[in-house]
Structure 1
Amino acid sequence: MTQIPTSKFYAYLSRLRWIKRWGLMRNAESENVVEHSWDVATIAHALALIGNHYYAGQFDANAIATAALYHDAGEVITGDLPTPIKYHSKNLTRAYQHIEALANQELLALLPDKLRPAYQQVFLLEQQPENHRRIIKAADTLAAYLKCRIELRAGNLEFKQAALQNRQKLESYRMREVDFFMRVFMPDCELPLDGLLLDSARANRPMEAFQERG
């Protein structure tokens, strides 16, 4: 067997834990890219299963979860660019997307040759089916919205506008899977530990109106 050289691929990925998100805002609880990627992957997996089991979807939930894990991996090279800057203008958005693509290609180039094609399928979102990309994008927004709610619950009004914007984005997707998640899972995310341990009736807790779409 030909000697395979060592690869720096996972050495780079392990440093995602040092990339902080929400860099322009005061955080009551800091969040890094590894934590965010886990949230996006588990939420995307849930959205895919919701679609399959409740709305006759045709999602590959495992492929979606895997792709979601890597969706921000390029940030180990680029860093996390705050959303207001990333989308400040079309020119800036295009420039950052180009940089992201280059960063992803640099990371993939670190892999052994025979592994690279398999990683490309989950690493590069453009190689995912459109319906998979929509699920991952929605999960990304849901994770951001949950982060905003955590900050607001801690009394950090710095995240008030971000929470509103992410809420509006979720509504604009008009996805039944998102509506289901908001209606079934989101309310209990507001509970403290004691609330999670208590078998309290859902009907007695206030819940935001987020109607399921027909």
Structure 2
Amino acid sequence: MKSHFFAYISRMRFIQRWALMRNTAQENVQEHSHQVAVLAHALAVIRSEKFGGTVDPGQVAVAALYHDASEILTGDMPTPIKYDNPAIRKAYKDVEAVAEGKLLAMLPEELHGVYAPILTPTDPEVIRLVKAADKLSAYIKCVEELKAGNNEFREAAAQTRKALEAYELPEVGYFLETFMDSFALTLDELK
């Protein structure tokens, strides 16, 4: 059987994010997924090293790499639309589940057991950390856009920061306190 799975995955780079917002720097789903994986891994490491957690950072990072894979088939729906209405949210979750199933079906059957829990994680702690990293990535984007003088992201930054704080995850608080301010600095200021 020939498989198109990885050819589809490589197309994540063609799906643009933040479609309803004026951007100073475009971001695609592949770039975003890499950043979410780095952040999710960091959150899992912080949880383990600082707060006594036991979640596997590698498992969290891999789940994050694929967390938006379904968007290859569905496209990226802007957050204000996706979460505005419970019926739309449920319908979109159903569409994402179908897309994840289609992606899994593209793989040879002998790989399904490995990729099914990656495309559709079931561990609640992995899911929670990936969601937090996804929100953290959005907040970083907002901060970077504001740093570039793009006030289009002012309200999104405030809402996203509030959502991050509402997670009440100590590793998120630690990340915000320890690392977040650096994202507002210029390259010269990072020295």
TM-score by length of 1: 0.88
- What's the counterpart of residue 142 of structure 2? 148
Q: Which residue number in structure 1 is paired with residue 83 of structure 2?
A: 87
Structure 2 spans left out of the alignment, 5+ residues:
none
Aligned-partner Cα distance in 2 for 1:43–1:124? 19
Q: 2:151 pairs with 148, 157, 168, which one? A: 157
TM-score, with structure 2 as normaliser = 0.98
Show the counterpart of 2:21: 25
User: 1:53 corresponds to which letter in structure 2?
Assistant: E
Structure 1 vs Structure 2: percent identity of aligned residues?
A: 49
| Aligned-pair CA distance for 1:106 | 0.4
Deviations 1:24-58 (A, max 9, x none): 11111000000100111000000000010111101
The yes-or-no answer on 1:118 pairing with 2:114 is: yes
For residue 13 of structure 1, the aligned residue among 9, 21, 37 is: 9
CA radius of gyration, larger in: 1
Structure 1 segments, 4+ long, off by >6 Å, are: none
DSSP-derived class of the 1:29 partner: coil
**What aligned pairs does 1:1-214 form with structure 2 within 5 A after superposition?**
5-125=1-121, 127=122, 129-196=123-190, 198=191
CA deviation vs aligned residue, 1:173-211 (integer Å, no higher than 9, x gap): 111100110111111122211122x2xxxxxxxxxxxxx
In terms of fraction of residues, the more helix-rich structure is 2
For residue 122 of structure 1, report the CA deviation from its aligned partner.
1.1
Unaligned runs of 5+ in 1: 199-214
- In angstroms, what is the RMSD of aligned CA positions? 0.8
How many Å separate the matches in 2 of 1:169 and 1:88? 15
Larger RCO: 1 or 2 (CA < 8 Å, sep 6+): 2
How many residue pairs were aligned? 191
